[in-house]
Chains A and B, each alone.
Chain A
Amino acid sequence: DGGITQSPKYLFRKEGQNVTLSCEQNLNHDAMYWYRQDPGQGLRLIYYSQIVNDFQKGDIAEGYSVSREKKESFPLTVTSAQKNPTAFYLCASSILPSTVLSGELFFGEGSRLTVL
């Protein structure tokens, strides 16, 4: 089955530690995205990548880093510089960059990060 796989589903981390969230897709989509969800807020875009070896900052990129070395993989690192890292993180992909023409974003099941 084609889809997006995020891991781990739940993660706990101590303050001051970096943590990397995995996102893999086998949909052959060019574009991939990382969103953050907090209670009472919409999904906010952290980073996105329209093509391999290229990525751009979204609205809330500070304290995060990404890489896109392979088409199917777009890992997100939450660094110790991120002030409020506890959140639900969602990875998504779309067939084409600038997603309006392709319409739909496909989401993974999410990773819940809790900083202790």
Chain B
Amino acid sequence: DQQVKQNSPSLSVQEGRISILNCDYTNSMFDYFLWYKKYPAEGPTFLISISSIKDKNEDGRFTVFLNKSAKHLSLHIVPSQPGDSAVYFCAAGNYGQNFVFGPGTRLSVLP
């Protein structure tokens, strides 16, 4: 049973618009969440994180929102750029445990 789910395998967005990538988790013990971005044939690179004591974290065009009661987090990219086209993974963890990764969402930003 997947503990971290990304129910949209793919998403297409027009350049300049907002991209919203969603992630759901089942383990209420998770208290730290990461988003990674991955280009083809490359390793994932860290994008942004959020801990359970916050409900929002912002870094430039990227904002992550956490709704603990719903066990849901989302990554917002505004404005979306063609270079943002990649696979995005969310990962969840808690102290003493290794991170669990979701299956990823492929984002395509259309010019």
**A residues within 8 Å of B by Cβ?**
4, 6, 9, 33, 35, 40-45, 48, 58, 90, 92, 98-101, 103-110, 112
23 A-B pairs, CB-CB below 8 angstroms? A4-B43, A6-B43, A40-B103, A42-B2, A42-B89, A42-B100, A42-B102, A43-B44, A43-B89, A43-B101, A45-B98, A90-B43, A90-B44, A92-B43, A99-B98, A100-B32, A100-B94, A100-B95, A103-B34, A104-B46, A107-B43, A110-B42, A112-B41
CB of B99 within 8 A of CB of A105, answer yes
Q: Considering only CB atoms, which chain B residue lies closest to A45 in the complex?
A: B98
Chain A residues within 8 Å of B82, by CB: none
CB of A42 within 8 A of CB of B97, answer no
CB of A98 within 8 A of CB of B4, answer no
Contact pick for B99, options A6, A99, A101, A108, CB 8 Å? A99
- Say if the beta carbon of B45 comes within 8 Å of chain A: yes
CB of B49 within 8 A of CB of A103, answer yes
- Say if the beta carbon of B9 comes within 8 Å of chain A: yes
**B residues within 8 Å of A by Cβ?**
2, 4, 9, 31-32, 34, 36, 41-46, 49, 89, 91, 93-104
Is chain A's interface secondary structure helix, strand, loop, or mixed overall? loop
Q: Considering only CB atoms, which chain B residue lies closest to A40 in the complex?
A: B103
CA–CA, A9 to B43, complex, Å? 11
Query: Given A90-B44, A104-B49, is A99 in contact with B93 using a C-beta cutoff of 8 Å?
Result: yes
Chain A residues within 8 Å of B91, by CB: 43, 105
CB of B45 within 8 A of CB of A107, answer yes
Contact pick for A109, options B2, B41, B46, B100, CB 8 Å? B41
Given contacts A42-B102, A42-B103, A108-B43, 13 further A-B contacts (CB under 8 A): A6-B43, A40-B9, A43-B89, A99-B93, A100-B93, A100-B94, A103-B32, A104-B49, A105-B91, A107-B36, A107-B45, A109-B43, A110-B42
Chain B residues within 8 Å of A109, by CB: 41-43
